[in-house]
Structure 1
Amino acid sequence: NGVLQSLSVFLLCNLCYLAYFNLNGLQHRHQAEPQCSLAQTQTLSSLSEIPRCESDWKSFNGSCYYIVTTEKNWMEAQAFCKSMNSDLVIITSEREQKFLESLTDKSYFWIGLKRDKDDKKVWRWVDGTLHNLSDGFWYEDEPNNKYGTEDCVLLWKEEKWNDDDCIDQYKAICEK
Structure 2
Amino acid sequence: MAEEIVYADLNLQGESPCTGRPQPAHPAKSSHFPPWHRVALRISCAGNMVLLGALMALSIWASPLPEGCKLCPPNWQLHGDKCYWLSKESKTWNQSREDCSEKSSRLLILRGQEEKEFIRNVTEGIYSFWIGLRLTDSMRNWTWVDGSLFNQTRVLLAAPGAGSSCGVWKENKIRGEMCSTDVKWICQRDAVPL
TM-score by length of 2: 0.61
Map 1:36-51 → 2, pairs under 5 A: 44=66, 46-47=67-68, 50-51=69-70
1:169 aligns with 2:182: yes
Asked which structure has the greater CA Rg, the reply is 2
RMSD: 2.3
Aligned to 1:107, which of 122, 127, 146? 127
> What do the CA deviations read for 1:110-131 (whole angstroms, capped 9, x no partner)?
00011123111x1111111111
Amino acid across the alignment from 1:113: L
How far did residue 61 of structure 1 move? 1.2
Alpha carbons 1:108, 1:154 under 8 Å: kept:
yes
Aligned residue number for residue 145 of structure 1: 159
Aligned residue number for residue 114 of structure 2: 95
> What do the CA deviations read for 1:8-49 (whole angstroms, capped 9, x no partner)?
xx8xxxxxxxxxxxxxxxxxxxxxxxxxxxxx7xx65x24xx
The runs of 4+ residues in structure 1 deviating greater than 2 Å are none
Aligned residue number for residue 94 of structure 2: 75
Q: Which runs of 5+ in 1 are unaligned?
A: 11-39
Amino acid across the alignment from 1:159: N
The structure in which a higher percent of residues are helix is 1
Q: How far, CA to CA, are the matches of 2:107 and 2:75 in structure 1? A: 16
Aligned residue number for residue 137 of structure 2: 117
1:59 match: secondary structure: strand
Aligned residue number for residue 21 of structure 2: none
How far did residue 149 of structure 1 move? 2.6
1:99 match: secondary structure: helix
Q: How far, CA to CA, are the matches of 1:125 and 1:144 in structure 2? A: 16
1:175 match: secondary structure: strand
TM-score by length of 1: 0.67
Q: How far, CA to CA, are the matches of 1:100 and 1:63 in structure 2? A: 12
Alpha carbons 1:114, 1:151 under 8 Å: kept:
yes
Amino acid across the alignment from 1:148: A
1:113 match: secondary structure: strand
Alpha carbons 2:131, 2:168 under 8 Å: kept:
yes
Amino acid across the alignment from 1:116: T
Q: How far, CA to CA, are the matches of 1:146 and 1:86 in structure 2? A: 27
1:75 match: secondary structure: helix
How far did residue 51 of structure 1 move? 2.7
